[in-house]
Amino acid sequence: MNQKETPLFDALIEYGKKQIYSFHVPGHKDGVTFPERGEARFHEILKIDATEVHGLDDLYDPTDVILSAQELLSDLYKTKKSYFLVNGTTVGNLVMVLSACRPHDKVLVQRNSHKSIFNALKMARVNPVFIAPESGRSGIPIGIKRETVRDALEQHPDAKALILTYPNYYGMAKKDYEEIIRYAKEKGLLVLVDEAHGAHFIMGSPVPKSTLSMGADIVVQSAHKTLPAMTMGSYLHILSQRIDIEKVEEYLERLQTSSPSYPIMASLDLARAHLASIDREKLQSILKDIDAFKLGIMEKGFDCVEEDLADQDPFKVILRADGQGFHLQEALFSAGLYPEMADRDHVLLTLPIGGRFPVKEILPVFEKVFGHFNPNRLVEGVPYDLQSQPMTTPVISYEASERLEKELIPLQQAEGRIAAKMVIPYPPGVPLLLDGERITDDHLDHMKALLDAGARFHGLNGDHSLWVYKMNKTVM
């Protein structure tokens, strides 16, 4: 197949040439009805913000240009079948779990998954066993250990699926996932992977390897995170016969809008062609800029995190800012530099895969910000260690929880209660507290430390109250 082709994008350009006037939705009529204030930004894109008219195919029953575009995607990523998603990796995670798991199935789930995985577990009404990840020297949870998977399968030989996240938010690709996947498959488990941050992991060394080539059964990737797709554009890949395609397509149609955005779909087509266009030589030249940037940062006295446990995505930089992560992020904002995220001890930057990257102009701005910081200052206290509980299960099942009443209580009264809503520091969107999890002193200490350091939360109200199940204590 010719990976230079972009059949869906091309069809939209044709559509624009052929149509005299739009007598269909959307209401902006290819942009002729639009507030003047938005003209400059929206004018060109609205010309291709079309709908399922003649020649533009149908995402949920593709036979023409969308089919061709998805086949090119499948060809590049070497999958059995691949899909464009317009509701982000969120919908991919929901569909992956709902189509692969049945109610009451026991499933092993990486504890530091994105909230959408936990929402999927609840919707699928499965019985999860959470497996805690191992943290590195930096304190960042990297990924699960093969030993933990082995222990989990010895204790739960009836598990049906293993749900992994790879790489983590920081681009760390734990080295033993290939072995973990092989082991899980030997034991007959389905392997489902949230590879949101790894849509470019088919590029080859030094970019880490994708789980697509490690034997995963189904994989979701955010094309908008590392590739040049519009936000909300993601890919879903099916790798094995063990995935029920009929069910996948039923859930995709159910959970995504019946009016998918053509600009998002076209950007997924273009992003795939962009990735395909980067050969070894081009990759080397892109990495030269990236390396120059990293070197420049380090010369200013800031360390970048390197972990032995993982292969690291070269397109991510993790600045060490011990205890001052959120403050460094604020300082960068003020200077016109918007990082991807901060945690207490780090600031994460994502770097471009191709395109203009004016390293020499940008480095002096970092230097100016760095001047106000005392880098690599050691802080007291270790961040919350998820490995203290390597394997956990919810205190109450998802089905039981649906019948329970909830109440809002202050944080300081929460110890010992059962959380009724996830509490999620955002980003990265990995829940600190899960729905159905008993709240411990450890959780509360960690939450307070994050609040003190300046973190933002979903599921924790402005007055620091949170939702717990209302219940007779004797029930527990």
Residues 265-304 that bind a second copy (CB under 8 A): 266-267, 270-271, 273-274, 277
Provide the minimum distance between the beta carbon of 114 and a second copy in the complex, in angstroms, as a whole number: 7
Provide the 8-state DSSP code for 246.
Answer: H
Amino acid at 136: G
Nearer to a second copy, 230 or 414 (CB): 230
Provide the minimum distance between the beta carbon of 253 and a second copy in the complex, in angstroms, as a whole number: 7
Separation between Cα atoms, residue 76 and residue 163, nearest integer Å: 24
Site size with a second copy, rule: CB under 8 A: 114
Which range, of 149-157, 211-219, 258-266, 444-452, touches a second copy by CB under 8 A?
258-266
Nearer to a second copy, 132 or 349 (CB): 349
Nearer to a second copy, 123 or 391 (CB): 123
Which range, of 11-19, 159-167, 211-219, 306-314, touches a second copy by CB under 8 A?
11-19
- CA atoms within a 13 Å half-sphere pointing along the CA-CB vector of 105: 22
Which range, of 74-82, 213-221, 344-352, 437-445, touches a second copy by CB under 8 A?
344-352
Torsion from C-alpha of 125, 250, 11, 218, nearest 10 degrees = 50
Nearer to a second copy, 283 or 341 (CB): 341
Provide the minimum distance between the beta carbon of 106 and a second copy in the complex, in angstroms, as a whole number: 18
Nearer to a second copy, 180 or 347 (CB): 347
* Residue from the set 124, 236, 331, 349 that interacts with a second copy by CB under 8 A: 349
Q: Which residues contact 405 (CB under 8 A, 6 or more apart)?
A: 469, 470, 471
User: Do you know the residue count of the chain?
Assistant: 476
Instruction: Tell me which H or E stretch contains 318.
Output: strand 316-320
Provide the minimum distance between the beta carbon of 340 and a second copy in the complex, in angstroms, as a whole number: 4
Separation between Cα atoms, residue 171 and residue 349, nearest integer Å: 11
Within 129-168, the residues that bind a second copy by CB under 8 A are: none
Q: Which residues contact 126 (CB under 8 A, 6 or more apart)?
A: 97, 101, 102, 103, 104, 105, 106, 107, 398
Separation between Cα atoms, residue 301 and residue 345, nearest integer Å: 16
Instruction: Report yes or no: 133 and 108 within 8 Å, Cβ to Cβ.
Output: no
* Residue from the set 133, 141, 260, 431 that interacts with a second copy by CB under 8 A: 260
Provide the minimum distance between the beta carbon of 380 and a second copy in the complex, in angstroms, as a whole number: 28
Q: Which residues contact 257 (CB under 8 A, 6 or more apart)?
A: 86, 87
Residue 145, both tokens: 């250990």
16-35 mask for a second copy (x: CB under 8 A)?
--xxxxxxxxxxxx--xxxx
Helices (H), 256-324: 262-276, 280-299
Separation between Cα atoms, residue 378 and residue 383, nearest integer Å: 13
Within 306-335, the residues that bind a second copy by CB under 8 A are: 332-333, 335
Provide the minimum distance between the beta carbon of 103 and a second copy in the complex, in angstroms, as a whole number: 7
Within 190-249, the residues that bind a second copy by CB under 8 A are: 199, 222-232
- Note whether 104 binds a second copy by CB under 8 A: no
Provide the minimum distance between the beta carbon of 165 and a second copy in the complex, in angstroms, as a whole number: 14
Provide the 8-state DSSP code for 417.
Answer: S
Separation between Cα atoms, residue 240 and residue 281, nearest integer Å: 32
Which range, of 13-21, 140-148, 378-386, 446-454, touches a second copy by CB under 8 A?
13-21
Residue for token digits 């593709």?
62
Separation between Cα atoms, residue 103 and residue 242, nearest integer Å: 18
Provide the minimum distance between the beta carbon of 292 and a second copy in the complex, in angstroms, as a whole number: 14
Question: Which residues are bridge partners to 131 per DSSP?
Answer: 110, 391
Provide the minimum distance between the beta carbon of 179 and a second copy in the complex, in angstroms, as a whole number: 30
Separation between Cα atoms, residue 401 and residue 384, nearest integer Å: 27
Within 379-418, the residues that bind a second copy by CB under 8 A are: 402
Nearer to a second copy, 102 or 187 (CB): 102
* Residue from the set 48, 107, 173, 331 that interacts with a second copy by CB under 8 A: 48
Provide the minimum distance between the beta carbon of 42 and a second copy in the complex, in angstroms, as a whole number: 6
